[in-house]
Amino acid sequence: MRKTKLGHSDLMVSDYCLGTMTYGTQTSEHDAHRQLDMAMDAGINFLDAAEMYPVNPVRLETAGRTEEIIGTWIAAHRPRDMVIATKITGAGSNAVQGGPPISADRMREAVEGSLRRLQVECIDIYQLHWPNRGSYHFRKAWAFDPSTQSRAETIRHMREILTCAQELIVEGKIRHIALSNESAWGLATWLHLAETEGLPRMLSVQNEYSLLCRNFDLDMAEACWNENVPLLAFSPLAAGILTGKYAGNVIPDGSRRSYTPDLGGRITGRVFEAVSGYLAIAHEFGIDPVHMAVQWTLTRPTPTLPIIGATTPDQLAHIIAGSTVSIPDDMKSAIDQLNRAMPMVF
Residue 284: inside a domain: no
Q: Does any domain span residue 340?
A: no
DSSP characters over 67-108: HHHHHHHHHHH--SS-EEEEEE--TTSGGGTTPPPP-HHHHH
- pLDDT at residue 63, rounded to an integer: 92
Above pLDDT 70, what percent of the chain?
96
Tell me the pTM: 0.96
CATH code of the domain in which 93 resides: 3.20.20.100
Catalytic-role residue among 16, 23, 53, 246 = 53
| Within-domain flag for 338 | no
Inside any domain, residue 46:
yes
Res. 135: pLDDT tops 90: no
CB of 206 closer than 8 Å to CB of 179: yes
| pLDDT, tens only, 30-40 | 999 999 999 99
Residues near 217 by beta carbon (within 8 Å), at least 6 away in sequence? 300
Residue 295 lies in a domain: no
| Catalytic residue list contains 53 | yes
| Predicted local confidence at residue 216, as pLDDT | 96
User: Residue 293 domain-assigned?
Assistant: no
Q: Is the pLDDT of residue 190 over 50?
A: yes
Angle at 19 between CA 18 and CA 20, to 5 degrees: 115
Average pLDDT over the chain reads 94
Instruction: Give the count of domains, the chain.
Output: 1
Q: pLDDT by residue (tens digit) across 226-269?
A: 999 999 999 999 999 999 999 889 999 888 899 889 998 899 99
Convert the pLDDT of each residue in 279-312 to its tens digit: 999 999 999 999 999 999 999 999 999 999 999 9
Establish if 166 belongs to a structural domain: yes
Instruction: Convert the pLDDT of each residue in 68-127 to its tens digit.
Output: 999 999 999 999 899 999 999 976 554 555 568 999 999 999 999 999 999 999 999 999
Give the residue numbers spanning the domain of 146.
3-238+303-325
